Chain A
Amino acid sequence: MATVEYRGMNLIVPENDSEWREYLKAAREHRLVMRRCAACGLLRHPPNHACPWCADLRWSWQEVSGRGTIHSYEIVVQAIQPGFREWAPYPVVVVELDEQRGQPTPDEGLRMIANLVKPDFTPEWEDNVAIGKRVRVLFQDLAPEIALPQFTLTDEPAEGRTWRLT
């Protein structure tokens, strides 16, 4: 069983965690992986055991680019978990990856939750967080078999108009 204390919480990944163990292990190797359906070819996140679109049970891991766009976000000012208090205010972002945007329906995409961090894994300044900004994945190593995928801003131009709460 892989386990690590992170910000006062125990992250627990038992040997039989058939969803997360390999995903977090790949993250520790600094690879972002998603499950690809063997029948319809669509990628999905988070990892699970049937295809959300065709219910096929066969899948394989596929590495993705880790590049995407901020689809929505929030700024946590009052942290709930004690270990996050000194980290607040911190952004939580919904990232839409470049792979599979608007597929299989226009309302869907390969989306992830993460923090928007600076390259040193401190929270990005609130003024720099906006819907439409471009991001890339970073891996925050926590334990021999656990790393957290995080996202950081890139120099690429934003997609169209950016928007932030003002």
Chain B
Amino acid sequence: MGNLRDKYCIVGVGETEYSRNSGRTTRAMAVEAIKKAMNDAGLGPKDVDGMMSYQQNDSTPSLIVGPDLGIRLNFWVDMVGGGSSTEALIGLAMGAIEVGMCRTVALFRSMNGYTEVRIGGTGARAAAPVRGQELATRPYGMTSAGQVFAPTFMRHMHDYGTSSAQVAHVKVAHSKHASQNPKALYKERVTVEDVLNSRWIVKPLRLLDCCVETDNATCLVVTSAERARDLRQRPIYLMGVAGRVSKPRTDFPWAHGPLSRVAGYYAKDIVFPMAGIGPEDVDLTGSYDAFTFTTLLQLEEYGFCKKGEGGAYVSSGIIELAGKRPNNTSGGHLCEAYTHGMNLVIENVRQLRGLADDYCPGWAEGKHSYDYSPGKCRQVKDAEIAMNLGWSTPATGSALILRR
């Protein structure tokens, strides 16, 4: 971002309830999430003039949602995309504002990921005709995200001796975090044994290695640091961003190895120099957890531990709330909700504000107990710098560095 570092901020966040039965349209949910994010920032309809969303033909476009809220748009774009879009769109929103196309952007993702278009790929998507590039995989019963990613995870186990029990710690950590999050769909803490005893989905993934499927909308508001100063919340500054950085051969990612390498290998060299920091400066991470393995692979690739030592890293306690660098303190996609990445950024914004919405009675005033036992606090003490590691596939990812 060169000279744009610290010049743009996230000023508002909002989300609907995370559920498996929204009982309403993506339009209704999007409007609610955006309105909450505007309220959070202290912005009215006249203050927002840009809108962005990402979708997979499963959402409602900005041109409908904006006017629902009385917003006249100077700029909008609805992009095709799932995971790793949040970070990429934040970067694009900064660009849109920087060139003068608009002043303030509301960025949303609205999806009935459980009751309409199942994110796991079951239902109508599974029976869709197979043509073009899909002929390389779908006729072989390789269609869902887990099925497409599993050979990468297996190869990591082969290359580095990563064990199922080590990886299970990601779910264990995130379930602990979810137990301090009133919004989380799954608040119950689980053990390594629980994960290892859950049924197989696609080896090496068991049920509890896989994220939840939920209905929800989420929203972030981005504006310039100059405008951010007058708004309701403490601004959270954007230090660095890398969007949809990809390995070679995304058309057929198995063609280019090592299979156990993920896109962060390339993204780290963009995002860290831009922010002017290194992994050791990051207080908490939001490494995308579509699966337990995705968290591990990215933390390792971005240099939070040595390549190949991700298993030891995630099972060391470092990624837990009481640890040195907690990951996905909301419970993430494994436990809080599946939003294609946005709830992971929302959580980091709240953490940097010191306003994690946990069970501490005074959380809204920033009063936290830092007691990380179940049903208590999930605020990271003195969090200054947070990082999000967005995942689309092993071959494509995004990254974002934020500070308070």
Binding site for B on A (CB under 8 A): 6-14, 17, 19-20, 24, 44-46, 48, 52, 71-82, 84, 87-90, 92, 94, 107-115, 126, 131, 148, 163, 165
Cα-based distance from A78 to B204 in the complex (angstroms): 12
> Is residue B182 contacting chain A, with contact meaning CB distance below 8 A?
no
* Nearest chain A residue, comparing its CB with the CB of B152: A72
Partner of A79, one of B136, B141, B255: B141
Question: Are A81 and B257 in touch, CB under 8 angstroms?
Answer: no
Query: Complex: how many Å from CA A85 to CA B269?
Result: 43
Bitwise, B248-273 to A at CB < 8 A (1) or not (0) is: 11011011111100000000000000
Q: Which of B143, B202, B204, B256 contacts A107 (CB 8 A)?
A: B256
Is B249's CB under 8 angstroms from A52's CB? yes
The smallest C-beta distance from B124 to any residue of chain A, in angstroms, reads 11
Closest Cβ–Cβ distance, residue A142 to chain B (whole Å):
9
Tell me if B200 counts as interface (CB < 8 A to partner A): yes
B350 within 8 A of A: no
Evaluate contact between B259 and A113: CB separation under 8 angstroms: no
Q: Which residues of A contact B136 (CB under 8 A)?
A: 46, 112-113
Q: Are B252 and A8 in contact (CB under 8 A)?
A: no
Cβ contact within 8 Å between B141 and A165: no
Among B129, B155, B158, contact of A12 (Cβ-Cβ < 8 Å): B129
What are 6 pairs between A and B in contact, CB < 8 Å? A10-B129, A76-B147, A92-B147, A108-B257, A165-B203, A165-B204
Given contacts A17-B131, A115-B141, contact A80 B121 (CB under 8 A): yes
B135 — nearest CB in chain A belongs to which residue?
Answer: A20
In the assembled complex, which residues on chain B have CB atoms less than 8 Å from the CB atom of A163? 158
The digit string for B114-148, where 1 denotes a CB below 8 A from any CB of A, is 00000011100011111111011111111110010
Closest to B155 in A: A72
Interface set of B (CB-CB < 8 Å, partner A):
120-122, 126-133, 135-144, 147, 150-152, 154-155, 157-158, 199-204, 248-249, 251-252, 254-259
- Per the bound structure, the CA–CA distance linking A116 and B155 in Å amounts to 17
Beyond A82-B126, A107-B257, list 5 extra A-B contacts (CB 8 Å): A11-B130, A17-B131, A74-B147, A74-B150, A80-B126
Supposing A8-B127, A75-B203, A92-B147 touch, asked if A46 and B133 sit within 8 A by C-beta, the answer is yes
Chain A nearest CB, measured from B199 CB (Å): 8
CB distance from B210 to the nearest CB of A (A): 10
In the bound complex, residues from chain B placing their C-beta under 8 Å from that of A108 are: 255-257
**B256 contact set on A, CB distance < 8 A:** 107-108
Closest Cβ of chain B to A24, distance in Å, is 7
A20 & B132 in contact (Cβ 8 Å cutoff): yes
CB of A137 to closest CB in B, whole Å: 13
Q: Report the Cα distance A148→B137, complex, angstroms.
A: 11
Q: Which residues of B contact A114 (CB under 8 A)?
A: 140
Which chain B residue has the least Cβ–Cβ distance from A150? B140
Contact B254 A111 (CB under 8 A): yes
Given contacts A74-B150, A74-B202, A77-B200, contact A113 B126 (CB under 8 A): no
Which of A82, A88, A115, A165 has the largest number of chain B CB atoms within 10 A? A165
In the A-B complex, the 3 residue pairs with the closest CB atoms: A74-B150, A72-B151, A77-B200
Whole-angstrom CA separation of A19 from B132 in the bound complex: 7
Give the residue name and chain of the A residue nearest to B139 (CB).
A148
Known: A73-B151, A74-B202. A10 touches B130 (CB 8 A): yes
Instruction: Tell whether, in the assembled complex, residue A72 and residue B158 are in contact, meaning their CB atoms are under 8 Å apart.
Output: yes
| A90 CB contacts on chain B under 8 angstroms | 141
> What chain B residues lie within 8 Å of A72 (beta carbons)?
151-152, 154-155, 158, 254, 259
The distance from the CB of B294 to the nearest CB of chain A, in whole angstroms, is: 15
| Interface core residue of A8, A88, A113 (most chain B CB under 10 Å) | A113
Q: Contacting A165 at CB < 8 Å: which of B147, B154, B254?
A: B154
Closest residue of chain A to B258 (Cβ to Cβ) is A107
B362 to chain A, nearest CB (A): 44
Residue among A71, A74, A131 making CB contact with B204, cutoff 8 Å? A74
Q: Decide if B255 touches A111 in the complex (CB within 8 Å).
A: yes
Distance between B61 CB and nearest chain A CB, rounded to angstroms: 28
A92 near B255 (CB under 8 angstroms)? Answer: no
Contact between B139 and A92, CB atoms less than 8 A apart:
no
Q: How far is the CA of A45 from the CA of B255 in the complex (A)?
A: 8
